[in-house]
Structure 1
Amino acid sequence: MGGNRRFVENKSIKPRQDRAALSNTEKGQKPFATIVGCSDSRVPNEIIFDQGVGDLFIIRTAGQVMAEASYGSIEFSSVALGSKLVVVLGHQSCGAVDAAIKRPDVPGHIVTLVNSVKPAAEKTKNMAGDRLENTIRQNVIDQVMQLRDLEPVLAKKYRNGEILIVGAVYNLSTGKVEFLPETLKDLPQFRATAAAK
């Protein structure tokens, strides 16, 4: 959150982005957070969070849609690399979410992305406000809940307070990341001792 605040205020310090940082991570990585985000080129994770080499483990697909490879990557970041925070990061004006609402004919495997977001689009059909923005938020919330229940690794680590799984939405015009209150309620007590095991 502090890194995003620096980015928004145009005070980025660009930490760990020099040759020393490259040398320090040459033999291994210990990212403190995993970002499950959209592949949209307007959402460069390390830049918007003002982080450096080795700080973030990034998994990106259009609409931050997840499948087995994404699940395995998230589990790997937690089990093998020790990442303690998973952030599902949506963003304003997401094309994949917009397609799930409008349901246009799409070629090839793009339909799998659209189909993955359709449940969120259905939930927001009768909500007040902007449907695209509502669906972006709902898609993030749904994915957070899905990861919290994903057996056998993430669900257990989440319940035991070894990792936190939260959701956020990035505003393209301001650069601000808003952590969604719905995903910050009733979090398990984070246990540093359990996480160190």
Structure 2
Amino acid sequence: MGEIEPAAALELLVDGNKRFVAGHRLHPHQDADRRTALGAAQKPFAVLFGCSDSRLAAEIIFDRGLGDLFVVRTAGHVLGPEVLGSIEYAVAALDTPLIAVLGHDSCGAIAAALDAVRHGTTPDGFIRDVVERVMLSVLAVRFQALTDADAAVEEHIRYTTDMLVQRSAVIADRLAEGRLGVVGLSYRLGEGTVRQVAAHGV
């Protein structure tokens, strides 16, 4: 795809989502020629760090194909060393100009964190780790979020977007150089639309 600016990369994502919502998908880069061309190297235009929810398939909702998106997904898009390392690889080694954090309404991780706030209990096993990492976002807007879960969703997207910049020197340096943008997007499951709720360098 060649060199691309962060704002142009975001525009590609937004335009693809508009096609998806309108039912006019192009299904780009999904043929044998594209597969063959990518055999030796990849040059994605965006890192998509999203929730693992099965309804959030990145290449579908942004109408993209092979080699376009470097996708990293965890429940509740929670950050950990492996996630940060994967994203840093895309930025440092692949020169990817955009990181998009993708959260969504009706998020199970957010709902579990809200339940923990209401009842003072957390799930067992490693699900607890996910809930605990979401908890700081929920607590920041807890009074509003107890009646409007979307407030917690958007706060957690903002929190994750900010944490990427704060935790990673690689990301912060690329931002300072103007070579990278980081955005937070909120996805509506019913409508299929995305809306920007946070941004750095775009």
Q: Report the TM-score, using the length of structure 2 for normalisation.
A: 0.88
Change in 2 beyond 3 A, CA 1:156/1:115:
same
Match of 2:73 among 20, 41, 60: 60
Structure 1 counterpart of 2:171: 154
CA–CA distance in 2 between the matches of 1:127 and 1:110? 24
Whether 1:48 aligns to 2:61 is: yes
Which residue of the other structure, out of 106, 114, 130, is the alignment partner of 2:131?
A: 114
Q: Provide Cα deviations, 1:11-53, integer angstroms capped at 9, x if missing partner.
A: 0010000111110111111000001100000110000000010
Find the aligned partners of 1:152 and 1:78 in 2 and give their Cα distance.
Answer: 11
User: Does 2:48 align with 1:35?
Assistant: yes
Pair 1:91 & 2:101 matched: no
Q: Distance in 2 between matches of 1:48 and 1:12?
A: 9
What SS class does the counterpart of residue 149 from structure 1 fall into?
helix
Equivalent position of 1:194 in the other structure: none
Cα root mean square deviation, aligned: 1.4
Tell me, in whole angstroms, the C-alpha distance in 2 between the residues paired with 1:97 and 1:105. 12
**Amino acid of the residue matched to residue 65 of structure 1?**
V
Q: 2:180 aligns with which of 138, 163, 188?
A: 163
Structure 1 residue runs of 4 or more that deviate by more than 2 Å after TM superposition: 126-131
User: 1:136 aligned to 2:153?
Assistant: yes
What letter corresponds to residue 78 of structure 2 in structure 1?
A: V
- Once the 2 structures are TM-superposed, how far is the Cα of residue 124 of structure 1 from its aligned partner? 1.1
Unaligned runs of 5+ in 1: 191-197
Number of residue pairs matched by the alignment: 185
Aligned match of 1:126 in 143, 152, 155? 143
